[in-house]
Amino acid sequence: FDKKDVTVIFVLGGPGAGKGTQCAKLVDEFGFVHLSAGDLLRSEQQREGSQYGSLIAEYIREGKIVPQEITIALLSNAMKAALESGGATANGGGTVPEKHRSKWTDGKGRFLVDGFPRKMDQAVGFDEEVCQSRFVLFLHASEQTMLERLLERGKTSGRADDNEESIRKRFRTFEETSMPVVEYYRKDNKVVEVDSMKPVEQVTEDIRKAVRETFA
Ligand code: UP5
Ligand code: MG
C-alpha cells in the first residue's frame, strides 16, 4: 500500500500502562483500526506452521524485543489486510463523527499501533519501510501501579509474561530500550503524554483533550 493512504498513531507506555484498554476506547470513538504488536506476535506464535513460534515465545517470556523484521512484517500485513477489506477507511472502521473527520485524514486508513516501536531499530525500520507516524501517544504510569495491574490481570489472562519475574524483565526492557524511542520522538515534538494512573474513563477524557489541543 501507499504511505499516503495511511495515518498511523503510535501508542506507547510501559507494560500495563493501559495501551490496549485506551486503544479500544479510541476505536469506538474515532473508528481507528487497532493493531497491537504484542497481540500480533502472540497470534503468530500460536499459528500452526509458524517458523517463529518458539522464538517469539522465548522473547515474550524474557520480556525481550522480538527481531524487528518479524514484527514489522506482521504489522504491515495486518495494515494491508485492513485496507483491502475496507476495514480501515473512514466508513469501514466504525462511525466517525463528522467533526473529527478532517482531522483524521478522511478516507484514509487510520491505525492505532499499540506497543510499537519499542526499540530504536524498529522506529527507524518502520519509518523507512512502512510510513511515519502522525504522532505518538505516551501513557505514563508508575511501576508500582503497572505491577499491581499486571499481577491482578495475571490471575486470569493466561499470558506467559504476566508473572512477577517476567514483569520485572519487561520493566527493565522498557526503561533501557523503549524509553529512548519515546525520547527520540519527544525531540521531534511528536509526543502527546497522558497520565495513565487515573481511572480508565478519566484517562480517555485526558487523551481526547490532549489530542484536540494538539490538532487545534
Ligand atoms: N487497566 C488499564 N488501565 C487502567 C486504569 N486506568 N485504571 C485501572 N486499571 C487499568 O491494561 C493492563 C491491565 O490494567 C488490565 O487488566 C486493565 O484492565 C488494567 P492494558 O490495557 O492491557 O495495558 P497494556 O499497556 O496494553 O499492557 P500490556 O501488558 O499489553 O503491555 P506490554 O507492553 O507489556 O505488552 P505487549 O503485548 O505490548 O508486548 C508483550 C511482549 O511482546 C513484549 O514484552 C515483547 O516481548 C513483545 N513485543 C515485541 O517483541 N515487539 C513489539 O513490537 C511488541 C511486543
Ligand atoms: Mg496490551
- The residue type at 141: A
Instruction: Choose the weakest-confidence range: 18-22, 30-34, 128-132.
Output: 30-34
Pocket lining: 200 vs ligand 1, CB cutoff 6 Å:
yes
ipTM of the complex: 0.99
Pocket lining: 153 vs ligand 1, CB cutoff 6 Å:
yes
The structure's pTM equals: 0.93
Tens digits of residue pLDDT in 39-96? 999 999 999 999 999 999 999 999 999 999 999 999 999 998 888 876 554 333 444 4
Q: Does 153 belong to an annotated binding site?
A: yes
Whole-angstrom Cα distance, residue 83 to residue 85? 5
- Read off the C-alpha cell for 156: 486470569
List of domains in the chain: 3-214 (3.40.50.300)
The secondary structure of 90-130 as a DSSP string is TTTSSPPPGGGTGGG-TTSEEEEEET---SHHHHHHHHHHT
- Read off the C-alpha cell for 42: 502472540
Tens digits of residue pLDDT in 86-109? 655 433 344 444 544 444 444 568
Tens digits of residue pLDDT in 136-177? 999 999 999 999 999 999 999 999 999 999 999 999 999 999
Pocket lining: 126 vs ligand 1, CB cutoff 6 Å:
no
